[in-house]
Amino acid sequence: MHVDPRIGALRGDRIAQRAMQEAVMLAAEDCRREDGLSRVIGELEDFGAGAELAECEALQRLVGAEEAARAVILPMIERLVRQQRETPLAQLSLRHQSGAGFHFLQLAAKGSATMGLALHDGMVPATSNPVATFPDAERHEIVLAGEAEIEALRIVTDCGDRVEVARTVRRVDRGDCIVLADADCSRVVRRVHGCMLTLRLARGGDRPRPTRQVDLALGRVVHKACGNRRESQHEMMVALLGRMKRSDAAPVLADVARSGGDHVRWQALRECLALNTSLGMDLLRTFASDSSDPLHSPAHGLLSQLVERYPELEQAEGMPCHA
């Protein structure tokens, strides 16, 4: 394996590593202190706390007028690119992600609001009926460069695991704005001509509905995920306790299953069933018998399946669960 001499030298020089990383972080902080971006970030905090976009003049102008967006964003991009060229081995100090055909750089986050740059590079072949994601978020995008064909989507009928989606194809290019109001709105990029760069402003709801992924060809909801980040973290913690086989945590999981968001409650119930069947079955029967509980239907279905397959569960007392 060939190791570039610069990487080899840097690997053993912690002082140089720290100096490079501090330089990148300082460059980002310098950008945020610039008058234009500083004002936008201040209003982003208000927006993230619940203010209407119309009350945030600079922020509204940023996602509504290309000239305003470029005036604020381009100096930051130029500064960061210059710094990256000076210290190419330093890690970018901003959150970022990169996948097939899509790349995102988060410029700022305040409360429930985020602002960032999204790049579609056209490397993913266009599909006629992709799976679309419907997060419960208010989103505003303005195209800074490039053009593409997108399909605006809106759920007009929701039957749980089936939805009817209204679909409108439109072409967007430099200066065009895309607004998605809520969890029933989304969009997919059909075809990118070269690359398309957008500035994206997004804000999650106070009590977000689950994020849905919909197969547009079938109108079928193929996946649901908790829209609340904190509840998603709790859901992961609950699942971890189950994987660790912490039977001593079953009473805690039972408490979690009795209140909170539906997704974390259901995960807690499942883990409780696996760790302490007697306690888990008591909970399952309670949920299945309460028609006002949001978990009534899935709990009733699971109870019927388990009892049919394992009749001994009707008399479950502390046995490990087969499910």
pLDDT tens for the chain, residues 1 to 323? 788 888 888 888 889 889 989 999 999 898 888 888 999 999 999 999 999 999 999 999 999 999 999 999 999 999 999 999 999 888 888 899 988 889 999 999 999 999 999 999 877 666 656 899 999 999 999 999 999 999 999 999 999 889 999 999 999 999 999 999 999 999 999 999 889 999 999 998 777 888 899 999 999 999 887 767 777 788 889 999 999 999 999 999 999 999 888 888 999 999 999 999 899 999 999 999 999 998 999 999 999 999 888 888 776 544 444 44
For residue range 35-84, what is the model confidence (pLDDT) as tens digits? 889 999 999 999 999 999 999 999 999 999 999 999 999 999 999 999 99
Give the chain's mean pLDDT: 89
Closest by CA position to 62, among listed 201, 205, 204, 172: 201
pLDDT in tens, 246-265: 999 999 999 999 988 888 89
Q: Are 110 and 45 in contact (CB under 8 A)?
A: yes
Name the 3-class secondary structure at 23. helix
DSSP 35: H
Q: What is the pLDDT of residue 317?
A: 47
Give bridge partners of residue 102 from the DSSP assignment. Answer: 99, 120
Domain 5-225 matching CATH 3.40.50.720: the answer reads no
- If 0-12 CB within 10 Å is exposed, 13-18 middle and 19+ buried, where does residue 153 land? buried
Q: How far apart are CA 204 and CA 50, in angstroms?
A: 10
Using CA atoms, how far apart are residues 110 and 115, in angstroms rounded to an integer? 9
pTM: 0.75
CB 178 within 8 A of CB 141: yes
Cα gap 310→316, rounded to integer Å: 10
Give the C-alpha separation, 84 to 76, whole Å. 12
Check residue 228 and give its pLDDT. 72
Taking the C-alpha atoms of residue 314 and residue 306, their distance in angstroms, rounded to an integer, is 9
In eight-state DSSP terms, residue 114 is: E
